[in-house]
Structures are given as structure tokens and as C-alpha cells.
Amino acid sequence: MTMIPRIAFLQVALLLGFASISIAAAPPNILIILVDDMGYSDLGCYGGEIRTPNIDRLAAHGMKFSAMYNTAKCYPTRACLQTGVYFQRTDRDFSNTATLGEVLRPAGYHTLWSGKHHAKFNPVTRGYDRYYGLLGGAQNHFNPGSKAAPGQPAPASKSDGNRWSLDGQEVKDFIPENPRFYDTDAFTDRALAWLSEYQQTEKPFLLYLAYTAPHWPLQAWPEDIAKYQGVYDGGYEAVRQARYARQVQLGLVDPKTTPLPPMEFGRRGQKWAELSADERRAEARRMEIYAAMVDRVDQNIGRVLQRLEEQGKLDNTLIFFLSDNGACAENPKVDNVDPKAPLGSVASFVSYGQNWASVGNTPLRKWKQDSFEGGIATPLVVHWPAGLKPQAGWNRDPVHLIDLLPTALAVSGAKYPGGAKAAKIPPPDGVSLLPAFAGQPIARPRPLFFQFNKGSAIRDGQWKLVRQGAAWELYDLATDRTEIRDLAAQQPELVQKMDAAWRAWWKECTGKAWTGTAPKERGEE
């Protein structure tokens, strides 16, 4: 096993200003927790009313980032997180890259992955010792299969069953036998089993825990839904205003630089007051279920934290918590729904729509799939008592998914590209976040770049050039984080300069000049 000498960790500690901390003699464990389609403001520590005490605890004893970026969509986010390169350099199967597993396993790590994958290959072929979870993109949370599980109604589903890997054994149409199966719980159960199995080994672990919640369909345990009965009866606008007020109180947003923009209502444009009593009840119920899903994720994170504490490993475990994209405004349709089934049950299949997605992303504009802040900004909470100085305020440096792998390299001593077998592997596009852990600025040599579907963006310091279609818009995020005042007409030379940088990045990644038309994205969720 490859270990970093204790002196190297002491040098890192001195660099970060932690001379008083007793540095572990071994590299840290690394725990990455990714949730699916969660909004910017859902967590309690980011202004939400949803009960997330375990994540809030990590934030209180670690640090919180206000400008963490993703790719606006599930599968490119997962590729960036795993490989440290922009998705435009690779594809859905992570071709010509090195995964976190391939990098960390040769450095002496157990490499474990429980949860969603959203690609065709099995992670055990790309550096992971163990993998349990969904290889596809979306599923029924109570029953991923196409037929009824024992003692249950037939599941509502968007497909004819999903391909799963049950810790090495692939199942094309996974129908759980456990009547209390719920994927958030199941992913955690498997992770806890691995932590127990490897408890006595000296090796550190990489555990990637990729929950499918709170991605549609909205489904949750009745006891969790009951916690939120009546919480959303005041409607979209009231909940959004309350979240914004808490964000101001928490110091996350400054009303002078981040004013709350007008709410973007769905196609029907109906405000809460314009809904009928029955419509309000149904809308509130959807948000209650969504909140219950986030609540259940937090409960399961609590289970993992408790196990790490019991094992004496929490202090030297570097934990990242984040979401794969902004809140989701989609309304998927399926044919096999039981119209009489209670909302949130196995035979129900609903989402919460654009209005609640606007609430979820408070105070940011737009949603998943867009390159505006509501599509690409995620909460990021980091916790590592042995190597991170707790920070009460907010880190406001722009950071990105591509930074996780370089950070893992920095703390583990692993060599890149490790055990990856691809012939041509580009170097990571990201940078290490270690300086941020000490409250120091991050030295990023290049801007951050974005492209998904019709959306594109480049962020260079305080400036962001963004489009959702043909025309670029320019925003000064230092004074306008909510992207209200388009300065493109006033700053044509800056627009031209940033456009040229974006085009050069695109050609560097893809080998082709930008034609003005984005590659066609397949509809798979």
C-alpha cells in the first residue's frame, strides 16, 4: 500500500496553518455525497425550511461554498466529478479519462461506490472495488423494476426496468424482494455494510455515495411526508420570500448584490392566489413529498456519520456534499400510473414543476439544463476536522466539480492517471481546493466553462457570459449574482473577448470549431 509519509502531512498542515492540529499518519478517507436535482436553497444551512440537521452539522464544523458549479445536467456532472475534466473532453462512458477509483486504488485506497451512475459501463471495470446501484439515470424509488414487488402494487415507471449492479452482479430488471426497499435507504445500507467489512483494515477508503433523491418521481415514506404537512400551504411566493430572508440572515446573500428577482412562473403563469383550493392542496402535497425525500437523505447521512464516529474515522474523513445540478422544472409523463394511488407512493409518478423549482433555486434564475446560475450552481459543504479549519462565513471563490479530483490527488498523494488504461488521458482541468480549506484564495489559471444543450457560459472572475440560445448576455456577478442586468450592450469588447475564449476552449476540448449548434443530446434522463 502506498502511504504518504507523516512529514508530508505535517508540511501540508503547516501550509494550511494547522500546526496545532494532530495530523493523521495516513491519508484521509474521502466521502463524496452527491444528491440528484436538489435546489440551491433546500438545505437548512442554505436558507431552506427542510430539516437537514446532519448536513447543517457538517457545515457548522466545516465550510460552505456559495459559488460551487456543476454542468446543469445529471450525466455530464457525474463524468466531471469522477474524472476532473470537462465533459466536452469525454462522453457518457468517460472515455479517455481516469476515474477517481482508477487514481486512488493504486495509492492504497478501498474504492467504493453506492448509488446512481448514469452510464453504460460498470464502475468495477474502472477502478472501483465495489459497486451497488443504478446504472441508468432515473427510476422508481420504491421499486426500480417493471413488475410489482411482493406485497406491493405495480410500480409507476418511465422505462421497462433499469439495469442495476448488486455489488458485482448485474440485473437487467431489478425488482426488490424487501418490502421496505427505498433506494435512499438501500444505498446507505450497502455503504454501511462496506464500512463495517473494511473497518479493521489500515487502508483509507474512497466512498462515493450518489443518491437518486430528490429526482422525480416524487416518492417518500409516509412518516417523512407527515413531517411537512401544512408547511407549504402558504404557496410558492411565501416560501420563496421566507427562504430569501433566511439567506440574508445567514449572510449567504447580500440584498445589494443579490436582490431577489421576480419569480419565474410556469407556462400557465398562475400565482398561488390564482389556484383553486384543490390545486393548492395538490401543489403543496408535491412539495411536502419533495421535502420528505431531502429529509430522508439527511437522515441517512446521519447514519453514515454515526458509523464513522463509532469507528473513530470521522475526524480524518474528507467529506464533500453537493448536488448534480439545480432544481428540476421538468414534468415527465408515464403511462402506467395508478390514478387512485396516493401521491408519493410506488404507483404514483409526479414531479413538482417549474414553480417549486423556482423556489428551490432561490434566489437564482432558471433551472436544471440552463447555464444561468439556477441551473449550474449547487450548495457545497466540506467537512474534515483533521485538515480543514472551520469557517463560520462563506467561501465565495468560484469552484467546480472538476476540482474534486485534483483535491483528492493533493490529500492522498496519488499519482495521476493512476491505473487508468486509456491511451490518451488529458490532465485535470480543475485545481486543488486545499487553499480554500485554510481560508486562502484559490489560484485558478483559467476561467470556468459551461455547455449543455442550448446553454453555454464562461465565468472569468466576476464576469459571466451566458446564453440559452444564440445571443450572449453579460453579467457582473460581483454586483448582480441573480443575473438581472445584462451588460452585453455596454461591454461589447469584453463580450467579444470572452466569446473568443469560450470558442477556443470548445475547440480545444472537442477538436472542432463551434458551429453555433450544440450537439444533439439524447433524451435519456
Q: Which is catalytic among the residues 118, 141, 215, 400? A: 118
Which residues, in sequence order, are CB contacts of 129 under 8 Å at separation 6+?
Answer: 101, 105, 110, 111, 112
45 in active site: no
Residue pointed to by grid coordinates 457545497:
380
Non-local (6+) Cβ contacts of 246 within 8 A are 47, 48
Place of cell 509519509: 5
* C-alpha grid cell, residue 426: 488529458
Contacts of 14 (CB under 8 A, 6+ apart): none
Q: Does 61 qualify as catalytic in the annotation? A: no
From residue 473, alpha-carbon distances to 15, 94, 455, 465, 467 in Å are 40, 31, 11, 6, 6
**b vs e for 61-96, b when ≥16 Cβ sit within 10 Å of the residue's Cβ?**
ebbbbbbbbbbbbbbbbbbbbbbbbbbbbbebebeb
Q: What is the three-class DSSP state of 510?
A: helix
Would you state the cell numbers that stand for residue 314, as one nine-digit string? 470521522
Smallest CA-to-CA distance from 105 within 129, 124, 121, 85 is with 129
User: For residues 73 and 279, is the Cβ–Cβ distance under 8 A?
Assistant: no
**Residue 386 DSSP code:** T
Catalytic residue of the set 45, 74, 80, 328: 74
Write out the catalytic residue numbers: 74, 118
